[in-house]
Structure 1
Amino acid sequence: MTTYDDRERAFEAKFAHDAEMQFRAEARRNKLVGLWAAELLGKAEDEAQAYARSVVEHDLHEPGIEDVIAKLVADLGDKATPEAIRAKMAEMMPVAKAQLMAETGL
């Protein structure tokens, strides 16, 4: 085995790890935004957790965040604008990444 093969394998492993961490961060962000939306809707703790789960699951339907934003806009009505939802999603992404880093010990 050559050094080139080792470097290629290491690069592939890093790429896979980075892609998994990005997926997990986006799912965590969606959960946090779901909890925020549940609070706006006045849901109790169990209902809020279930609602946040539904937001995470909704993101699996289509690539990107537009499907999540559409769901939240429909659910929240006049409680939040699409711009406010986008801002909350942007605000929650670094929080989600920090939580994951703390959990994984990185």
Structure 2
Amino acid sequence: MSTFDNRERAEENRFAHDQEVAFKARVKRARLLAAWAGPQIGRTDIAAYGDELVDADMQEPGDEDIIAKLFADFKAAGVELSRHTVEVQLQRLGEQAKAEVRA
């Protein structure tokens, strides 16, 4: 096997690993969001709500799907919140999730 083949295989392995870590961090972020949002909207089944948020987050690339789910849930519970609040939580909990997954 040539050096080029070895480098190519190493790059493919690194890419696959990075994708796996990113996926695990997204799932962890959704579960952290459930722990943050659940009590505010009256959800006591945080694990089940986390699963709902994971499912919502996997609908489309990006964060719009999970943001829409959170807004719908807050609205249904009669709780007002701003998009800025949601985006700040997404960012903060996303960073926390990445750190926890890497640890």
What stretches of structure 2 of length at least 5 have no aligned partner? none
1:1-106 residue pairs with structure 2 within 5 A? Answer: 1-44=1-44, 47-77=45-75, 78-102=79-103
Unmatched runs of 5 consecutive residues or more in structure 1: none
Letter in 2 for 1:93: G
Decide whether the 8 Å contact of 1:31 with 1:55 is kept in 2: yes
Amino acid at match of 2:101: L
Is the 1:40–1:79 Cα contact (8 Å) retained in structure 2? no
Higher relative contact order structure (alpha carbons within 8 Å, sequence separation ≥ 6): 2
- Three-state SS of the structure 2 residue aligned to 1:54 is helix
2:57–2:66: 8 Å Cα contact kept in structure 1?
yes
Indicate the RMSD between aligned Cα atoms, in angstroms.
Answer: 1.2
TM-score, normalised on structure 2? 0.89
Deviations 1:41-79 (CA, angstroms, capped at 9, x unpaired): 1322xx111111100111111111101101100111234
Percent same amino acid among aligned pairs?
Answer: 39
Q: Write the distance in 2 (CA, Å) between the matches of 1:2 and 1:16.
A: 21
Following TM superposition, the consecutive aligned residue runs of length 4 or more in structure 1 with deviations greater than 6 angstroms are none
- Whole-angstrom distance in 1 between the partners of 2:17 and 2:50: 25
**Following the alignment from structure 1 to structure 2, what is the Cα–Cα distance between the partners of residues 52 and 36?**
10
Q: Which amino acid aligns with 1:24?
A: K
Answer yes or no: is the 8 Å Cα contact 2:30–2:50 preserved in 1.
yes
